[in-house]
Amino acid sequence: MSTSASTGMPALETRGLMKSFGAVTAAHDITVSVPERAVWSLIGTNGAGKTTFVNMVTGYLHPDQGTILFQGQDITGLGPREVTRAGICRSFQIPQLCSELTVLENVLVALAIADPKPPSFFRKARESAAEDRAMEILKRFRIEEHRGRLMTELSAGVRKLLDIAMSMCGHPKVMLLDEPTSGVAAEEKFPIMDLVMEALAAENVTTLFVEHDMDIVTRYSDRVLAFYDGRIIADDAPDEVLNDPQVQRYVTGTAPAEASS
């Protein structure tokens, strides 16, 4: 369990991140500094650059320009595996699970990989200590009753929770959640977020989550980054950002209609 004392250094910092896909600029001068244990949300319309930002930080995409620092160390250019090993984990908008494995086996895989030693050919995956630990994680996310099920038999909410539970096995210091409640039934959204945030807070994990539901944004985050057209157009407390005219116009669509001249 991560119980390290605060270093005073930002948990995650990006400086001038740029990313283009042909003529489309998906990220333009993204500069943020996320303090330890912060819970920030990333909002914006589709194509605004939120997932590009998450993909760059987690090593799936390499920025064309700019620097990514994790606890002061430059991690720009590292791949997903190295970034994960460093302590930054993520979940996915479409949960990335191992479809041929049961729920329990998915967590056992995550635990085996989280072990500092490479997965061994001679160490049993299902030894009782590992199974106990896996069950503990499933119980924390209240999905233990699904342990024997395959992915095709799970609801969207359970898949989301399993995806996040697997990422938590590596005891991350920073977690990026890509739309943790998308595709989930309305009545399940808050219970899921409660479970996830409780688990992350228990391990003092700095959290950034991409979200479209403003009720969730205001309830769970202490700061909001609003993206539009590859840029951050607002960066402040949730109420401030949601009342920002630019955000209302370009992100939330809540700006009052302009009087016709």
Write out the two tokens for 108. Answer: 């056992």
Binding of residue 17 to another protein (CB under 8 A)? no
Nearest residue (CB) to another protein, 118 versus 256: 118
Binding of residue 112 to another protein (CB under 8 A)? yes
Of residues 148 through 167, those in contact with another protein by CB under 8 A are: 148, 150, 166-167
Binding of residue 75 to another protein (CB under 8 A)? no
Q: How far apart are CA 228 and CA 176, in angstroms?
A: 19
Binding of residue 108 to another protein (CB under 8 A)? yes
Residues 87-106, mask of contacts with another protein (x by CB under 8 A): --xx-----xxxxxxx-xxx
Query: Running DSSP on this structure, what letter comes out for residue 120?
Result: P
Binding of residue 134 to another protein (CB under 8 A)? no
How many other β-carbons are positioned within 10 Å of the β-carbon of residue 56? 24
Q: How far apart are CA 206 and CA 21, in angstroms?
A: 29
Cα torsion angle, 88, 93, 99, 105, sign: positive
Judged by CB under 8 A, the stretch of 34-42, 44-52, 61-69, 144-152 that binds another protein is 144-152
Type and span of the H or E element at 201: helix 186-202
Binding of residue 135 to another protein (CB under 8 A)? no
- Alpha carbon 57 to its chain's center: 10
Nearest residue (CB) to another protein, 69 versus 150: 150
SS3 of 139, please?
helix
Q: Are strands 174-178 and 88-91 parallel, antiparallel or unpaired?
A: parallel
Nearest residue (CB) to another protein, 97 versus 216: 97
Nearest approach, Cβ of 109 to another protein (angstroms)?
A: 4
Which amino acid type is present at position 65? Q
Cβ proximity of 146 and 103 under 8 Å: yes
Q: How far apart are CA 66 and CA 64, in angstroms?
A: 7
**Which of 4, 120, 246, 254 forms a contact with another protein (CB under 8 A)?**
120
Judged by CB under 8 A, the stretch of 27-35, 46-54, 75-83, 216-224 that binds another protein is 75-83
Cβ proximity of 153 and 165 under 8 Å: no
**Which of 8, 118, 253, 256 forms a contact with another protein (CB under 8 A)?**
118
Binding of residue 10 to another protein (CB under 8 A)? no
Binding of residue 210 to another protein (CB under 8 A)? no
Can you give the binding site for another protein, defined by CB under 8 A?
Answer: 58, 79-81, 84-85, 89-90, 96-102, 104-106, 108-110, 112-115, 118-126, 147-148, 150, 166-167, 169-170
